[in-house]
Amino acid sequence: MDVLVINGPNLNTLGTREPEIYGTTTLADIEAAAVAQAEAAGLSVSTFQSNHEGEIVDRLHAARTEGVRFVIINPGAFTHTSVAIRDAFAAVAIPFVEVHISNVHAREEFRKHSYLSDLAVGVLTGFGAYGYTMAMDFVIGRLEEA
């Protein structure tokens, strides 16, 4: 597996509430676009969404076993709370891009801190669903270079 796209809590309800913040695109739309983009570049890709912190930790451990080469993650609210997901990324040592649909720096103070950003290769925040497209474009370039 080349690329794993992970989405955290509540992102399964994207497109159904707060469209002024999160837009109207659904998670199914985002995942389908990410799969099409990666496959068009000849990469294998898998998607995963969970509302449970430990399941995301478990998925990252499995990703190492599977030989996943890059992760794109929107950790949702776990961005601001999860030492466990941070530790999992440090343990598996898989490079990752952190994506946020909204601009977390233009919102509440507590959203300005991420437990993951300093470990990430890069962070995209505020570009809506297009952030996933930009992240995948970057990952494709990196994996083609390798």
- Residues involved in catalysis: 22, 100
Distance of closest approach, residue 123 Cβ to ligand CA2, in angstroms: 11
Phi-psi region of 93 (alpha: psi -120 to 50; beta: other; left: phi over 0): left
- What stretches of 54-130 adopt beta strand conformation (E)? 70-74, 96-100, 122-125
Catalog residues that contact ligand CA2 under the rule CB under 6 A. Answer: 10-11, 13-14, 16-18, 22, 74, 76-77, 79, 100-102, 104, 111
Give the amino acid at 45: V
d(CA 52, CA 118): 23
Give the amino acid at 1: M
Give the number of other Cβ atoms within 10 Å of residue 97's Cβ: 24
Q: Could you write out the three-class secondary structure of 22-38? A: HCCCCHHHHHHHHHHHH
Tally the C-alpha atoms within 13 A of residue 38's C-alpha that lie toward its C-beta: 26
Nearer of residues 29 and 66 to ligand CA2, judged by Cβ:
29
Nearer of residues 69 and 75 to ligand CA2, judged by Cβ:
75
Distance of closest approach, residue 31 Cβ to ligand CA2, in angstroms: 14
Nearer of residues 107 and 142 to ligand CA2, judged by Cβ:
107
Distance of closest approach, residue 27 Cβ to ligand CA2, in angstroms: 8
Nearer of residues 64 and 112 to ligand CA2, judged by Cβ:
112
